[in-house]
Amino acid sequence: MDDHTALSLLEGLADKLGIPIRYEIIKDELTGPGGLCRIEGEYILIIHSKATVKEKMQIMIEALRRFDLGDIYVRPALRELLEEYEK
């Protein structure tokens, strides 16, 4: 699976979990390309719009692995990607 397909599948998984993704320009004084936030009790993924595809994938994988995915259908290739990141 190529990176763009994986990114699209990760975005879909976030949607299934009810986690909105916002691609924004992050100010220089902040470090990192983004991450998972909790605002007023709701999760949101904020990702620097100029992050590379790999960086976007890493942020999403790191965030999505925090959630119980046992009851959600996740394509086998995507589940493998999420599990590989653990190692």
Please state whether the predicted TM-score (pTM) of the whole model is above 0.75. yes
Spell out the domain ranges in the chain.
3-86
Q: What is the 3-state secondary structure (H, E, C) of the chain?
A: CCHHHHHHHHHHHHHHCCCCEEEECCCCCCCCCEEEEEECCEEEEEEECCCCHHHHHHHHHHHHCCCCCCCCCCCHHHHHHHHHHHC
The domain defined by 3-86 carries CATH number 3.30.2010: yes
Local confidence pLDDT in tens for the 87 residues of the chain: 899 999 999 999 999 999 999 998 877 656 678 899 999 999 999 999 889 999 999 999 999 999 999 899 999 999 999 988 765
